[in-house]
Amino acid sequence: MVEQQRDLTVPAARDLPDSGKKVASPRVLVVDDEPLVRWAIAQTLTDLDYEVGEAEDAASAKRTILEAEQPPDLALLDLRLPDSDGLGLAFFIRTHAPDTPIVLMTAFGTPEILEQAAAFGIPVLNKPFDMSELTALVDRTFTLRTL
């Protein structure tokens, strides 16, 4: 599914500091091994003028972040991925892209991991969720960030 990934450098290039009037679309990275979940989120956020990149596992998510010119403006991560379980990927992003806010998605997180996420100030979306919950949470995260 790597071919589904978008090149995150493209929107960044569009966002030239001297363009002045042009407001760049915020870029969101969605990491989930379920293509339907990625599709639904990508469709919803694209309709709201976000730029969405996708990754199907932790390895390709890390590569995307390391290879991008600029880190994503938001990372939406599934808690359980084929090659990563728990907060490993979240910690990687905290280290390599400390300014990128993270939102976790989980079908069933153990109370310990949810507590840990809360301790690090990472919001959690319980699967299945309504798309309005997702957009509300994403909007709130960006509002907080611009404040």
Residues that bind another protein (CB under 8 A): 34-37, 39-41, 43-44, 80, 105, 107-108, 110-111, 127-131
Q: CB-wise, 34 or 67, nearer to another protein?
A: 34
33 vs 10: CA distance, rounded Å: 24
Give the nearest distance from C-beta 123 to another protein in angstroms: 16
Q: Report in angstroms how near the CB of residue 58 gets to another protein at its nearest.
A: 16
Beta pairing, strands 80-81 & 124-126: unpaired
Q: Which is nearer to another protein, 74 or 81 (CB)?
A: 81
Name the percent of the chain in helix, strand, coil, to the closest 5: 45, 20, 35
Cα–Cα dist 104/126, whole Å: 9
Cβ 122 to another protein shortest distance, Å: 18
- Output the smallest distance, CB 51 to another protein, in A: 17
Q: How far is the CB of 144 from another protein (least distance, A)?
A: 24
Instruction: Provide the Cα torsion 117, 51, 96, 15; round to 10°.
Output: -140
- Which is closer to another protein, CB of 85 or CB of 99? 85
Q: Name which of 6 and 127 has its Cβ closer to another protein.
A: 127
Beta-bridge partner residues of 89:
none
Give the separation between CA 111 and CA 117, rounded to whole angstroms: 10
